[in-house]
Structure 1
Amino acid sequence: MHSLSTLFAALIAAGACATASAAPITLTFEGVGDRASVLEFYNGGSDSAGHAGSNYGISFSRASLGIIDADAGGTGNIGNEPSPSTVLFFLSGSAATMNVAAGFDTGFSFYYTSARAGFIRVYEGLNGTGKLLASLALNANTGNCAGDPNGGFCQFDPVGVAFAGIARSVDFGGSADYIAFDNVTLGASTPAQDVPEPGTLALVGLGLGGLARLRRRQS
């Protein structure tokens, strides 16, 4: 017969495995405030602006920000988001960090847009610690693309990676204000899709500023 402590430990381990093997979860960042820190938005709490989302047990570092497409009333120099109109980005440091205390397995995927090289690193421990389970180098992918109708960062490419083990944190890295992510999917190596927000297409030139900008006044 198991002791109470042994049985309790076994139940906890079984629960952790069940959580890690659950159906894929996709974070669209819709509802996060413009330039607000995501923080506990997906962890039963709120972002830095007081908005709350679904409780998936997922938290983000303070540097992890949401930004809303300027065409939708925000300050983002973005277009064609996979799930309009909010994406994840950062304005300071070299990465935004996501923590998943219960862990997840199988794969990790997302859409991204970037004017400079970036990276993704998936770790076994929280806060980018422990064994590195997977990493991806992200190439710059902005250029001539059609906004919706505006937005210089308007090409969102799907990327994913499969890995063995249980992951508990991810670093979204690159140059601050020059890379953004959307439809972040835990538990699958292919990101969930959505329909880009409608709008009249307009070509955008190569001269990109940063992702964050003040919304231009309408004439």
Structure 2
Amino acid sequence: MRYVFHVFLLLSALCLGYGCSDGDHQEVAVALYDGKIPMMVTHDVTMLISDSGIIKYRAITPTWVRFGDDTQIDSVTKGAYQYFPDGIEFEQIDTVFEATETIVADTAYNWESRQMWHLIRNVSVTSRKGEKFQTNDLYWDMKKHTVYSDSFIHIERADNIIEGYGFTSTDDFTKYEIKQTNGIFPLRENAAATSSATTTAKGEESDEQ
């Protein structure tokens, strides 16, 4: 399966310094993003992301930067990617376009050919079960429908809070695992403090509707 991006420009601005003018003033400076010269910069964008012709996600971002195929990613790798320096918000949507899950991050990268996202800083997820996940670093593999992180993870559930390091989950956040649990803290009133931490914490979606 391959996700397809449908882009809606609510208020777009393509201004890399070429041909932009204000009266007699000719703009000649080229804006750098991520330390590189971008192929395109667009502002105030709403994207609909589909899988097999079905709209799965709505993404909203104030700044969308695209880099071409010849962009030097590191010392040995070149390739096209997308950069979202001013944050991005995803909404998983149902057939009537109601949001069932939200994902927010301060910064994001997307490698469209690999269907891979990297979300950075203040990553916050609210699942369809109402559980909340918070971390500062999260990878999202749309091809495999999984998310993972090696960073600290904070999870708020109906009856407790789980914290730890190292996290893997399905991308609907219904089945997840923390590799190293630091603590489980009850939320119920007058509950006794948890005295021990397990090495693995798993969340399973209930079969009850």
- Whether TM-score is above 0.5 comes out as no
> Which TM-score applies when normalising by structure 1?
0.28
> Which TM-score applies when normalising by structure 2?
0.29
Larger RCO (alpha carbons 8 Å, 6+ apart): 1
Larger radius of gyration: 2
Which has the larger strand fraction?
A: 2
